[in-house]
Amino acid sequence: MAGSKAPPTIQEVAELAGVSKSTISRYFSGFPVRNPEQIRAAVERLGYRPNSAARDLKNGRTRTVGVAVRDLADLYFARILRAIGLASSEVGFHLLVADTSLTSERLAYETLRQRADGLILCAPQLDDSELESLVDDLRPVVIVDRLAPGVRAPQVGVDFYAAMLGLIAHTMDLGHRRIAYFAGPPRSWGDRERRRAFETAKTFGAIPTILEAADSDQLDAAINTALSDGTTAILSFDDFIASSTISRLRKLDVSVPDEISVTGFDDVGYASLSNPEITTVRTPLGDLGERAWSELRALIEGAEATATSVLLPAEVVVRASVAAIAKA
């Protein structure tokens, strides 16, 4: 049996300080009171801490943001999350997080929403129509890393299309034409945007091949294909795939970038420490989070929800994993 007593209430503090509950309440809300020192002492002595459930109930808000991510242990999301956390805590908000890798997205969102004033959904996987209907009763909500036409909520993403085009241009400048795209999560918005860039690139004379590389086996197969079909540059969905690719190529004694060029995407840490250092795109994860928060904040404060979409630019970071194509 635990000897834990019930926590002190505002009433007990009031009695000890010889004033009424309201005075204590005011004291905590920063209003001037006659005898702050006395109150402070009573609070201290009792170890009183305001009960936030009661507060939230009375105030009708929780001052909490709910954020859903697919994988908390993915640096990509962790960085966005951190930015949201820092920005929102500046205005006294708390961060409630759900990792949707094991639960259904719907359920996770619903549960989060119950305890938060608003939601930020990171790269939701649901299809547009599901998302559209869900968003209606989740509101206020903002969507990150996914543009879903028809969804009446602010959507903030990164211009992957333009960034990938930049990467393609960079490789093409160096003489590459037969380029392979090592694709990421199929059907994800981020992947589709990158693919679009390859479509466009055909216009400029690129000869792209799309190869699935989201899991380990696919990656092996993709590498084999690339190695045998005359590919001279591999543009990967993200730094992780790029890193894995380079690592496997090394085992096959294929030198990067001398024999084949490889690029990453996102610049999430290992890209700059690799050997060779990976040419990639710097995805502005912090900005993404901050922007999402400011959109959500506006909504929470009563702004009308519209289908605003914001596309943040991302720049190419040239490092050492792409070289000029060897003369044929």
Is residue 22 close enough to count as binding DNA by CB under 7 A?
yes
Is residue 9 at the binding interface for DNA, with CB under 7 A as the rule? yes
The partner residues of 23 in beta bridges, in order of sequence, read: none
- How is 199-234 classified by DSSP, letter by letter? HHHHHTT-EEEEEE-SSHHHHHHHHHHHHHTT--EE
How far does Cα 99 stand from its chain's mean position? 12
Q: Return the residue matching tokens 């690719």.
A: 245
Q: Which residues inside 53-92 make contact with DNA, applying CB under 7 A?
A: 54-55, 57-60
Nearer to DNA, 27 or 181 (CB): 27
Q: Tell me the C-alpha distance between 172 and 324, whole Å.
A: 9
The reply on whether position 216 binds a copy of itself by CB under 8 A is no
Does 23 participate in binding DNA (rule CB under 7 A)? Answer: yes
Report if residue 152 touches a copy of itself, rule: CB under 8 A: no
d(CA 151, CA 145): 14
x/- letters, 48..87, toward a copy of itself (CB under 8 A):
-xxxxxx-xx--x-x-x------xxxxx--xx-xx--xx-
CA distances from 29 to 19, 63, 201 (A): 16, 15, 59
How far apart CA 277 and CA 284 sit, in angstroms, is 19
Told to check if 5 binds DNA by CB under 7 A, we report no
Q: How many residues bind DNA (CB under 7 A)?
A: 30
Binding segment (CB under 8 A) for a copy of itself, from list 92-100, 149-157, 216-224, 226-234: 92-100
The residue from 5, 32, 37, 47 that contacts a copy of itself (CB under 8 A) is 47
- For residue 270, the surrounding DSSP H or E stretch is none
Find the binder of DNA among 28, 63, 286, 311 (CB under 7 A).
28
| Residue 231 CA, distance from chain mean position | 32
The verdict on 210 binding a copy of itself (CB under 8 A) reads no
For residue 150, the minimal CB distance to DNA (Å) is: 30
Q: How far is the CB of 3 from DNA (least distance, A)?
A: 17
* The one among 1, 2, 6, 91 contacting DNA by CB under 7 A: 6
Do 310 and 293 meet the contact criterion of CB atoms below 8 Å apart? no
Interatomic CA distance for residues 235 and 214, integer angstroms: 13
11 binds DNA (CB under 7 A): yes
Provide the minimum distance between the beta carbon of 49 and a copy of itself in the complex, in angstroms, as a whole number. 6
Tell me the three state secondary structure of residue 197: helix
CA distances from 119 to 70, 132, 154, 164 (A): 14, 14, 11, 29
Question: Tell me, what DSSP letter sits at residue 272?
Answer: G
Cβ of residue 89: shortest distance to DNA, in angstroms? 19
Cα dihedral 194→197→198→203 (10° resolution): 180
Among 3, 32, 92, 149, binds DNA (CB under 7 A): 32
Q: Which residues bind DNA (CB under 7 A)?
A: 6-7, 9-11, 18-26, 28-29, 31-35, 48, 50-51, 54-55, 57-60
**Where does this chain bind a copy of itself (CB under 8 A)?**
1-4, 6, 47, 49-54, 56-57, 60, 62, 64, 71-75, 78-79, 81-82, 85-86, 89, 94-99, 101-103, 110-115, 137, 243-244, 246-247, 250, 269-270, 272-275, 277, 302-304
